[in-house]
Structure 1
Amino acid sequence: MEEHKSMPKDKGLDHTLSVLREGYEFILNRSNKYESNVFETKVLGEKTICLTGKEAAKLFYDNDKFKRSGAAPKHVQKTLFGENGVQALDGEEHHHRKAMFMSLMTSDALNEIAELTKKHLESFAAQWETKEKIVVYDEAKKILTHVACEWTGVPLEDEEVDERTNQLADMFESAASIGPEYWKGQKSRTAGEEWMEDLVQKVRDGEINPPSHRALYQFSVHRDLEGELLDKQVVAVELLNLLRPIVAISVYMSFTVLALIEHSDQVPSLQSGNEQEKQSFIQEVRRYYPFFPFAGARVKEDFTWEGYEFEEETLTLLDLYGTNHHPDLWEDPKKFNPARFESWQGSPFDFIPQGGGEFDFGHRCAGEWLTLDVLKETLSYFVNELTYEVPEQDLTYSMSEMPSLPKSGVQLTNIVRQKNR
């Protein structure tokens, strides 16, 4: 019989404010304090189990033990995820809906994402040469709005780029906010869904005809397990579950340029064109810099793991940032070292910046491959196609703000394209 152990427990009535104050390091701090990869706390007035590390990630992504339904707070659904989307589904319904996303991730489609990224980088860089200064984060959001809409088949007029960029960015920039910033995110979520619903209806009515391989068409005609068309509100949520995450790669794009600034000694080797070195650099950007703090699920039914009892319906959080910085998994985790990925074995449970587990059957982000292609193009463009200067600015970033970003957004001046040198 398995020995039952007492789970380490946070003292105090509620630790929601501590989550907001400590951000990405909330779980990691307590894991270190209790010298345990599992502990109990209370968030939003609810008993919550927190997990970190490779073995904990394996547990968390066991679909027999955890479910996603009811895990995301309404606060987050009304900004980041939307309601009734794939993240909140389980079982066969989840697998069927996830397949709709995975069908888009063909090699040709991913190659196109890379080509679109390069095309729009080049278009924007031509404008950068005429500007005194640019802010990489602001430019990246616009570039990726173009990329996302073109790749999914969503029409985007020049005069609406700023509006749509802001709407998509508000959804992930406000997810951990309160007050006016949260209300702005909620308003943008509503406007974004109305935008998508209108397009879906036009596709179904034959008023617009996107190419049949584009997400706008595929999602609009997708049928559920009962053979019924999805409600257009659900289609709108799922389309935004493509557009929003692509635009959110702007956070990683900013950190990629920051990494080039902070580790300029590595630029010459990256210019050589060695694909493995580029891949390792991008992976280390995703491991080292903060992106998404944790993922949530609920216990399906009572079980015991390593002596600890998990009760049905208990909210459980997996520490994404902390697992990527876990000292048992990564040597010198606080050091930026791309070379570590030259010997990395590729486990789906120790490197989880966008979630872990398997792509097809689990809840791992369907857009992770897409993210890599966007970032590799970004890296190649900045090291091989541009020269620029880095003015004095505040390049620090907060571990409590979610998402975290360099304070200055990464400012560059005197940008010149290689072809104009």
Structure 2
Amino acid sequence: MSGENGMPKEEGLDQSLSLLREGYLYIPNRRRSFQADIFETRLMGKPAVCMGGKEAAKLFYDPEKFKREGAAPKRVLKTLFGEGGVQTLDGEAHQHRKAAFMSLMAPKEIMRLTDVAERQWTKAAEKWAQQTEIVLYEEAKKLLCRIACEWGGVPLLEEDARQRTSELSAMFESSVSAGPAYWKTRRARRKVEKWIGGLIEQVREDNLHPPEESALYVFSHHKELTGELLDTETAAVEVINVLRPITAVSIYLAFTALALHQFPEEKPKLTSVEESYTKYFVQEVRRFYPFFPFTGAKVKTDFEWNGMDFKEGTLALLDLYGTNHDPLLWENPDLFQPGRFEDWDKSPFDFIPQGGGDYHTGHRCAGEWITIELMKVSVNFLVNRLSYTVPDQDTSFSMTSMPSVPKSGFVVRDITIISRSENDENKNK
């Protein structure tokens, strides 16, 4: 039925349990049933608006109409984002802080990242080749934690690598959990914040000297609009906002391997020296498989849009997964077709696995370029640098667990390293 403001409205006192039960499909299911891209519901005991599709995404990322302050629940701040981080800021304060993140995305820094990734992938592959089998998702978390720390200028002792990987992973694996898992994640974040905070103090005392372009250096020296250094706690949150998302690329890496297994016809297209198809493949993995289901904001001030009234302070959720599978935006959205990105117009509002809008002025994830480059390196290793077998296993993935990964973690066996001469020979066939 429709609410008084012309917006379809879901019946019921509260739909929080339905959201948790349906996960990625909660908003898409209702968009289909209401035949509308925006509907009203109640979540956590309060009115909320759910929205999806290109035009709704444009609206959602209008800074005059929506804000991020107060949008994320406290429990999410205390697990996933951290308190005081860039995700919670608006206006000039947000743009100033975001500029620090964007400085890490300079071309030379992206090149440094790929060099680090290549080196760490090679070391990991040599280790895996000595084992009977590995669970790729678990190994990918360790690999990406090492990449994140080395690139971010964060010293990581080998004896601490497993612990830090576990702590960083808990932040994105259990951010919406309850009970013991939630409190475990809270403890993990506190430990990492204490660790990074100690390193920041060492940098400020001139006892630790990370590369000047690294995340640890940038946020140790970052000054707010007031001209004052970020307090140690917030600076630590922002360094973690680099380390955690890079480690979370392990989800995409597991799905990359799954895609190569499910769609073996794609492999020959990825052995070419032509880089463009590798990028199409990576983008299709990001579009096709689930990552995070939605992102949140709050209505900044009362406004009317397309005959619908939005009230100040109302929680708004933008459907990321559903927009990436919207049949009005994507032809045959439930088919895996990397070639679709050859003709994609690069709109910032129809392909939004890590948010939409402008990188510099909006809340689109600054690390999206990092994600793409890390996945391209991973595709090259999985296709051209490694040989392995995939045993029978449960590679299905849940559409209710958030985030989702293949249930088996994607097990691979009999890993061998393909020499560069063999690789060149294969490409010339």
Q: TM-score if structure 2 supplies the norm length?
A: 0.96
Match of residue 313 from structure 1: 313
How far, CA to CA, are the matches of 2:5 and 2:330 in structure 1? 27
How far, CA to CA, are the matches of 1:410 and 1:370 in structure 2? 23
How far, CA to CA, are the matches of 2:398 and 2:213 in structure 1? 40
How far, CA to CA, are the matches of 1:317 and 1:393 in structure 2? 35
Match of residue 46 from structure 2: 46
Instruction: Please give the residue correspondences for 1:364-403 in structure 2 after superposition, counting only pairs within 5 Å.
Output: 364-403=364-403
Match of residue 412 from structure 1: 412
Residue 34 of structure 1 aligns with an amino acid whose one-letter code is F
Residue 182 of structure 2 aligns with an amino acid whose one-letter code is Y
How far, CA to CA, are the matches of 1:119 and 1:21 in structure 2? 41
Match of residue 192 from structure 1: 192
Displacement of 1:164 in angstroms is 0.3
Are 1:28 and 2:28 an aligned pair? yes
Instruction: Please give the residue correspondences for 1:52-91 in structure 2 after superposition, counting only pairs within 5 Å.
Output: 52-91=52-91
Residue 58 of structure 2 aligns with an amino acid whose one-letter code is K
Match of residue 251 from structure 1: 251
Q: In structure 1, the residue corresponding to 2:246 is in which secondary structure?
A: helix
1:346-388 CA-to-partner distances (Å, cap 9, x unmatched) read 0000000000000000000000001000000000111001110
Are 1:299 and 2:284 an aligned pair? no
Q: In structure 2, the residue corresponding to 1:224 is in which secondary structure?
A: coil
Match of residue 157 from structure 2: 157
Displacement of 1:274 in angstroms is 2.0
How far, CA to CA, are the matches of 1:202 and 1:11 in structure 2? 55
Displacement of 1:183 in angstroms is 1.3
Residue 78 of structure 2 aligns with an amino acid whose one-letter code is K
Q: In structure 2, the residue corresponding to 1:318 is in which secondary structure?
A: strand
Q: Is there any run of 5+ residues in structure 1 with no aligned partner, and where?
A: none
1:1-26 CA-to-partner distances (Å, cap 9, x unmatched) read xxx95211111111111111100111
Displacement of 1:202 in angstroms is 1.0
How far, CA to CA, are the matches of 1:231 and 1:5 in structure 2? 44
How far, CA to CA, are the matches of 2:45 and 2:14 in structure 1? 6
Are 1:235 and 2:235 an aligned pair? yes
Q: In structure 2, the residue corresponding to 1:296 is in which secondary structure?
A: strand
Match of residue 209 from structure 1: 209
Q: In structure 1, the residue corresponding to 2:316 is in which secondary structure?
A: strand
Match of residue 347 from structure 2: 347
Residue 110 of structure 2 aligns with an amino acid whose one-letter code is L
Report percent identity of matched pairs. 52
Match of residue 103 from structure 1: 103
CA contact (8 A) 2:391 2:411 kept: yes
Q: Is there any run of 5+ residues in structure 2 with no aligned partner, and where?
A: 423-429
Q: TM-score if structure 1 supplies the norm length?
A: 0.98
Match of residue 183 from structure 2: 183
1:111-168 CA-to-partner distances (Å, cap 9, x unmatched) read 1111211111110110111111101101111111111011110000110000000000
Match of residue 129 from structure 2: 129
Residue 59 of structure 2 aligns with an amino acid whose one-letter code is L
Match of residue 283 from structure 2: 283
Q: In structure 2, the residue corresponding to 1:333 is in which secondary structure?
A: coil
Residue 268 of structure 1 aligns with an amino acid whose one-letter code is P
1:248-295 CA-to-partner distances (Å, cap 9, x unmatched) read 000000100100000011101111222111111000000000001101
Displacement of 1:60 in angstroms is 0.3
Match of residue 333 from structure 2: 333
How far, CA to CA, are the matches of 1:354 and 1:102 in structure 2? 15
Q: Runs ≥4 in structure 1, deviation > 6 angstroms?
A: none
How far, CA to CA, are the matches of 1:201 and 1:5 in structure 2? 53
How far, CA to CA, are the matches of 1:58 and 1:346 in structure 2? 14
Q: Which moved more, 1:68-77 or 1:210-219?
A: 210-219
Q: In structure 2, the residue corresponding to 1:323 is in which secondary structure?
A: helix
1:230-250 CA-to-partner distances (Å, cap 9, x unmatched) read 110000100000000000000
Pairs aligned (count): 418
Residue 211 of structure 1 aligns with an amino acid whose one-letter code is P
How far, CA to CA, are the matches of 1:273 and 1:28 in structure 2? 38
Match of residue 427 from structure 2: none
CA contact (8 A) 2:109 2:213 kept: no
How far, CA to CA, are the matches of 2:77 and 2:25 in structure 1? 23
Displacement of 1:185 in angstroms is 1.0
Instruction: Please give the residue correspondences for 1:143-154 in structure 2 after superposition, counting only pairs within 5 Å.
Output: 143-154=143-154
Q: In structure 2, the residue corresponding to 1:134 is in which secondary structure?
A: strand
Q: In structure 2, the residue corresponding to 1:292 is in which secondary structure?
A: coil
1:296-339 CA-to-partner distances (Å, cap 9, x unmatched) read 00111100011100000110000000000011101111111111
